[in-house]
Structure 1
Amino acid sequence: MLGVVLLACVGCTSAYVSRDVVYFGTAKASFHITPKTEYQLFNYTCKNLLGGLVTLWWLHGGWTTFNQTRVKAYVDGETTPSFNIQVYTAVAMGFNDESHVPWGNTRLGSSGHQGAYNAIRIPFYRNFSMTLTMDSRETKNQTGWFYIRGLEATALQLGDSLFIPPSTGARLRVYTSENVTLQPLDYIDVVPKLMGRGALYAVTVMIQSKNFDVLEGCFRAYFNSSNENVTLLSSGTEEYFFSSSYFGAASNGFALPMSGLLHYHANTTLSAYRVHQVDPIIFNSGFRLRWRNGEKADPASGQKCTAIDSGNVIGHPGVSHVTFYAYVYQWP
């Protein structure tokens, strides 16, 4: 009797049969990278018509600016990459802070100097390619180490019960806002206005400001194509990462399965991550995610995040320099 994996899933036409599942991957030791070139780490074409899922990749490099090395992913022949990310920013190791190494969970982590792994799944249907580009300040050939793993005929799992097969055309996009300067009470689109269906899966952030009054800022989500009706994902920045009081009791940092604070310095800089594997933020008719640099409170009720133009400013938020990465799955 054949083993059958029964899925409650979006867009499934039949159950997957275990004999269809195929492992793929490779490892590269001491490969050489030339400055100012896009080096191909991996290229793979599915052997069947059921699509594939990259399950994990790991990278280590010996060059000084490794933390700003860029990795790009190209899916199914696209010429513009699905994502273009800096290795350390993608796992929330902002400001090149390795003080918490080794750390990790089932999706993100680092267990050695100048290295990191990323296990946020990458679905594709026919072909997947990954490349590496060193920071432009590197002028000499360098040496790296890399491996990648995946499975064909395997669905993307969100939460405990939702499965999205690659045949639906599901894609992982990483929306990046790098080194953006915000004035007090400015908004930033962590995820821009999107149409269609999908899920917010993870967010990493780096913040530099004169004080942490900016952490009064809330995360606001919009779940329709008109992006009018707001839903609060948190009533403060640190709450989104399961902390409180400007990360006060957690200022030494933490790395948990769903969230982490990997850098915190003198109430002026921080770097954190949030993974929505347990609580995926699903949308069906458009989505947008915004963060505010500081916040106002309604003068009548005292409630935060409800006053937009009116209200009382909380504390004295200053100019901030921020970087956000948002991992978002999208499907038709």
Structure 2
Amino acid sequence: MKANKATILSYAEKCKNILVSNWTGQLNTIKADAKGSKEDIHSSKVKYLFKKGKPFIWVPKNDQHNVNTIIDERGSFAVASPLPGKLAYLLKSIKRLPTRVALTGDAVPLKDDKIDFAAEILEETISSEIKVISNAGYSVSGILSSCNLGCASRSENLLELFNEDEEYTVYKFNIRACTFLDGNGRIHEVEVEGFEASKADVLSPYYASLIDGINQSEARRRALMLFCFTYLNANVKDAYMLSVDRRGFDVLGKVPSQALKNGLPEYQWKEFRFTFKDAAHDIESFCNQLVEMEEEAVKSVSNFSGLG
């Protein structure tokens, strides 16, 4: 199986994948009271589901947003790519930001006859994702079983909306502008038309679980190091899965730099891109191709060392 370095996802696709893969975001509305709109901004963390091209946001009944939007529906909504477990600590240690999406638009409360519809969509989404995981084969369970106990899937997190005693107002967020922020803090404006036309990756609901399952496994991280050596002729000292999608995945590898410290080489983290020969059509297809790459890389290194 051949892999190569390439940039293959548009910013619009990256934005949509982040929005589908996460379940919490930062909602910002303009503070208001009975006298009207104020200049200050109220911000809080909320749960949401991205469906039918827009976020549906569950705001607790006692949150100030519910007052603000009566006077002024304008707002912004920010979502970061989910960074589970070890990956979050690594990126923080090297001062690298998570990729993020910033949306501006209007937070519109759903009418009574639409609230039940939103609850049905939420329930169907959770049920569908749980069914996919429970029916998946060994290659999927082999990866997901390594997940940290604290790394719950998107569906498990959204399920809390049904389990909690909290009452919510449900909003749909109508998007007027979209911005993608990369890991280096660079800003990329995304045309709304292009964003609306793009499709979310089929794997996006499972991103966090897949990434954490791989990074929590020492054997799989060693396989990522082999990928860098076998496919890209790069000698890395350590490696983590950074992101996944239907077309491949990105790896952060620890490589020697030209700088020296006490006569020994310093190390830096470098990003490597691997693409599949055939795009994965579901989570099982992704995991199967990853396992095939692992087997191919081990065989290649064994032959190279004269052990095969």
TM-score normalised by L of structure 2: 0.29
Greater share of strand residues, 1 or 2?
1
